[in-house]
């Protein structure tokens, strides 16, 4: 069995939903995981915020806009009047749920219940449409099998038992449709797998049913060797190992939720990234295979803050780093890059929620400096650390000021910390040095 996940753009317009139909309608048994229509989760976040802040008028306006958007899509997609009526009834049901929260939002996890409406609608709509088109699909509700434990980790045993039960109840169905992103928590309340979490849903399901393959259908043709927003002539990478994908996932978060490959990697279930708008394009296959060595991809992440911690006491002292790391642990702040000298350590974070508290604690025993607006540039590829071509990348030291270099942390990654303003130049120059293309700038599209 295959698991196919379609993202927000793929279900975001009548035209694209028609493309989804063509892709899924091939008589092979599959589970289809859908995101909310593009923009819907953002709309629902705004609705939940407005309700939470008692901005009832604003909330009512946003709820009405969402209802109208959903109705327009349904009217354009569905021809059969009784099927259309069912969809409209469902839209009204969602509308009533959202409206009820403007009177009373005291139910637990009300915000998550609001956010869940996006996936609940997209799956209802697409299932109704496929049925109208004569395709035998049916919904298996994510809230009937998807559950995370107290730590927010998928409860694989529970998921496996329940999904198997649901599938076995409908032996003749070929296409099962379910909601990405939404889940129950350990107490049985509605929660979600964080923004972009539908990819993660797909691989959790893939692991639970031991799928042959998990396909992530999106609006680009896989992982590119560099960021196409800043560099011309990038190309999609046909194959990545799980290690390479794990290194890039954090940087390619817009393409793939960072945790996506975790559930399937140990089971050796490949993940294929495909483009709904261009199904014939090869995309990227993520699998256990190591197809080549050397730098394969460059990616960058903005919004990085670097903290430099300097202390003479660090010289020949043991336990210094433990003391530093314990502070980050206390504030549940993940550290991404670390470099050390004899008397100083620099590290980066992307979550600055507790930055002031962290700095205050560090200052008790060291001198601390903080710089923001930094970016991490990641170069990934199997065994790049030992590869003869890798030295080429260090020509970049002539072009931009590099604040930190992480080399040797893994064989598959080298990371550079730069000022975000130097990012376009860094990506273009690295492209030139490594992939031998001309330095050519394109205007950023975002």
Applying CB under 5 A, the residues found at the interface with Mg ion are: 7, 196
Show the binding pattern over residues 241-260: x = contacts ligand ASP (CB under 6 A), - = does not: --------------------
> CB-based contacts of 278: which residues, under 8 Å, 6+ apart?
221
- The interface with ligand ASP within residues 74-93 (CB under 6 A) comprises none
Q: Based on the shown chain and the rule CB under 6 A, indicate whether residue 164 belongs to the binding site for ligand ASP.
A: no
Q: Report yes or no: 2 and 211 within 8 Å, Cβ to Cβ.
A: yes
283 binds, among ligand ASP, Mg ion, none (CB under 5 to 8 A by kind): none
Angle at 324 between CA 322 and CA 328, to 5 degrees: 105
Q: Classify residue 48 by burial, with Cβ atoms within 10 Å: 0-12, 13-18, 19+.
A: buried
Q: Based on the shown chain and the rule CB under 6 A, indicate whether residue 118 belongs to the binding site for ligand ASP.
A: yes
Q: Based on the shown chain and the rule CB under 6 A, indicate whether residue 330 belongs to the binding site for ligand ASP.
A: no
Buried/exposed 263-287: b ≥16 CB within 10 Å, e otherwise: bbbeeebbbbbbbbeeeeebbbbbb
Q: How far apart are CA 133 and CA 298, in angstroms?
A: 43
Q: How far apart are CA 26 and CA 165, in angstroms?
A: 24
Region from 96-104, 105-113, 190-198, 230-238 binding ligand ASP, contact rule CB under 6 A: 190-198
Least distance from ligand ASP to the Cβ atom of residue 197, Å? 5
Least distance from Mg ion to the Cβ atom of residue 214, Å? 14
Least distance from ligand ASP to the Cβ atom of residue 82, Å? 29
Region from 75-83, 147-155, 196-204, 214-222 binding ligand ASP, contact rule CB under 6 A: 196-204
> CB-based contacts of 42: which residues, under 8 Å, 6+ apart?
none
Show the binding pattern over residues 28-67: x = contacts ligand ASP (CB under 6 A), - = does not: -------xx----x--------------------------
Least distance from ligand ASP to the Cβ atom of residue 44, Å? 9
Q: Based on the shown chain and the rule CB under 6 A, indicate whether residue 148 belongs to the binding site for ligand ASP.
A: no
Q: Report yes or no: 417 and 348 within 8 Å, Cβ to Cβ.
A: yes
Least distance from ligand ASP to the Cβ atom of residue 8, Å? 5
Q: Based on the shown chain and the rule CB under 6 A, indicate whether residue 154 belongs to the binding site for ligand ASP.
A: no
Give Cα separations from 407 to 244, 404, 412, 419 (angstroms). Answer: 15, 10, 9, 19
Q: Where are the beta strands (DSSP E) in 231-337?
A: 239-241, 271-275, 284-287, 297-310
Contact residues toward ligand ASP (CB under 6 A) are 7-8, 35-36, 41, 118, 180-181, 195-198
């Amino acid at each position: 069995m295959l698991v196919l996940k379609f993202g927000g753009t793929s279900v975001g317009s009548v035209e694209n939903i028609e493309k989804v139909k063509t892709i899924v309608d091939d008589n092979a048994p599959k589970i289809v995981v859908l995101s909310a229509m593009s923009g819907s989760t953002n709309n629902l976040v705004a609705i939940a915020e407005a309700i939470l802040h008692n901005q009832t008028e604003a909330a009512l306006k946003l709820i009405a806009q969402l209802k109208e958007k959903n109705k327009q899509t349904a009217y354009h997609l569905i021809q059969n009047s009784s099927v259309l009526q069912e969809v409209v009834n469902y839209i009204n049901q969602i509308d009533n749920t959202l409206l009820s929260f403007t009177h009373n939002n005291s139910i637990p996890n009300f915000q998550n219940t609001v956010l869940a409406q996006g996936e609940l609608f997209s799956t209802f709509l697409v299932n109704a449409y496929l049925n109208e088109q004569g395709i035998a699909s049916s919904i298996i509700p994510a809230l009937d099998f998807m559950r995370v434990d107290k730590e927010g980790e998928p409860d694989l045993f529970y998921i496996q038992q329940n999904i198997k039960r649901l599938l076995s109840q409908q032996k003749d169905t070929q296409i099962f449709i379910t909601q990405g992103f939404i889940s129950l928590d350990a107490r049985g309340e509605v929660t979600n797998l964080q923004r972009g979490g539908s990819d993660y849903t797909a691989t959790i399901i893939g692991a639970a049913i031991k799928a042959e393959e998990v396909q992530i259908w999106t609006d680009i043709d896989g992982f590119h060797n560099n960021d196409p927003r800043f560099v011309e002539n990038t190309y999609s990478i046909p194959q990545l190992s799980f290690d390479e994908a794990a290194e890039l996932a954090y940087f390619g978060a817009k393409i793939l939720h960072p945790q996506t490959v975790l559930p399937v990697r140990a089971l050796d279930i490949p993940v294929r990234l495909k483009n709904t708008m261009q199904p014939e394009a090869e995309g990227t296959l993520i699998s256990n295979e190591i197809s080549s060595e050397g730098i394969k991809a460059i990616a960058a992440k903005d919004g990085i803050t670097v903290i430099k911690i300097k202390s003479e006491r660090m010289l020949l002292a043991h336990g210094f780093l433990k003391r530093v790391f314990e502070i980050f642990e206390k504030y549940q702040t993940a550290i991404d890059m670390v470099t050390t000298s004899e008397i100083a350590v620099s590290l980066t974070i992307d979550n600055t929620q507790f930055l002031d508290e962290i700095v205050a604690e560090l200052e008790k025993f060291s001198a601390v400096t903080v710089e923001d607006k930094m970016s991490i540039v990641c170069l990934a590829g199997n065994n790049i650390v030992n590869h003869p071509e890798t030295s080429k990348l260090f020509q970049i030291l002539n072009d931009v000021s590099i604040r930190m270099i992480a080399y040797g942390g893994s064989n598959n990654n080298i990371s550079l910390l730069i000022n975000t303003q130097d990012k376009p130049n860094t990506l273009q120059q690295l492209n030139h040095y490594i992939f031998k293309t001309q330095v050519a700038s394109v205007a950023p599209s975002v």
